[in-house]
């Protein structure tokens, strides 16, 4: 069905279209084939998303260290001129790993990781303000500006680097990675929890 929709968009020739791809252990091996298909169907780019907890707050089919490394190596070698491939900021461990070089790491700035309360927020269907669409801490404020500067939840999220827990606290990529806080909140019930499902730390220098 998705391929049919992409064929229609290709035939239409009036809009640019992209693919969002969720990286999972059960589909990681198919990624090169997805890239080839995307090129054939005229897709303008691919965005790699990190898997989020399901309705039961469990993470399904997280990337194994082997598949994480295989995907990272593919991205490092990929020619961005053929088709652009981006890794969403929320998938910070992968971004930090593929941007890590001998003397420096290019994964810096506000987009280096989870942007909830740092460079983004969201509004739910009831008009409540929330840190992101996956962090359902709803609050009411007179304005978005008031929420941005005075929300206790947002302020807590901005303190992650000061209070992060293991294994992130000891990770060699800690200065260039802020892993998804929705995963920490839903799976570990702790906004400051380290990422226990991360494969990047397995690749320690």
The number of folded domains in the chain is: 1
Rounded Cα gap, residues 124 and 109, in angstroms = 27
Please determine, for residue 205, whether its predicted confidence score (pLDDT) is greater than 60.
no
- pTM score, two decimals? 0.89
Split at pLDDT 50, 70, 90, the class of 7 is: confident
Rounded Cα gap, residues 54 and 98, in angstroms = 27
Split at pLDDT 50, 70, 90, the class of 88 is: very high
Split at pLDDT 50, 70, 90, the class of 5 is: confident
- Who wins on pLDDT, 30 or 12? 30
Residue 1's pLDDT is what? 60
Rounded Cα gap, residues 23 and 51, in angstroms = 6
Question: What are 34-61's pLDDT values in tens digits?
Answer: 999 999 999 999 999 999 999 899 899 9
State both tokens at 162.
Answer: 């000061």
* Mean pLDDT calculated for residue range 181-203: 92
State both tokens at 203.
Answer: 């690749």
Domain span at 47: 2-203
Rounded Cα gap, residues 173 and 188, in angstroms = 21
Rg (CA), the chain: 18
Residue 184: C-alpha distances to residues 166, 194, 199 (Å): 12, 7, 15
* Mean pLDDT calculated for residue range 23-38: 97
Give me the residues paired with residue 47 across strands: 20, 86
């Amino acid at each position: 069905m998705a391929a049919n929709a992409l064929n229609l968009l290709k035939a239409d020739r009036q809009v640019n279209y992209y693919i969002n791809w969720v990286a999972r252990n059960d589909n990681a091996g198919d990624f090169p084939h997805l890239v080839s298909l995307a090129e054939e169907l005229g897709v303008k780019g691919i965005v790699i998303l990190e898997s989020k907890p399901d309705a039961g707050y469990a993470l399904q089919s997280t990337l194994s260290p082997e598949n994480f490394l295989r995907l990272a190596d593919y991205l490092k070698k990929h020619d961005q001129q053929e088709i652009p491939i981006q890794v969403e900021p929320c998938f910070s461990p992968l971004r930090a790993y593929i941007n890590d070089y001998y003397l420096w790491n290019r994964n810096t700035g506000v987009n280096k990781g989870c942007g909830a309360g740092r460079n983004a927020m969201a509004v739910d269907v009831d008009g409540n303000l929330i840190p992101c669409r996956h962090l359902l801490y709803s609050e009411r404020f007179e304005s978005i500006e008031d929420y941005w500067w005075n929300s206790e939840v947002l302020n807590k999220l901005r303190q992650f680097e000061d209070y992060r827990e293991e294994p992130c606290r000891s990770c060699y990529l800690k200065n260039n990675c802020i892993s998804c806080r929705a995963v920490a909140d839903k799976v570990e019930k702790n906004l400051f929890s380290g990422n226990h499902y991360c494969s990047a730390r397995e690749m320690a220098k």
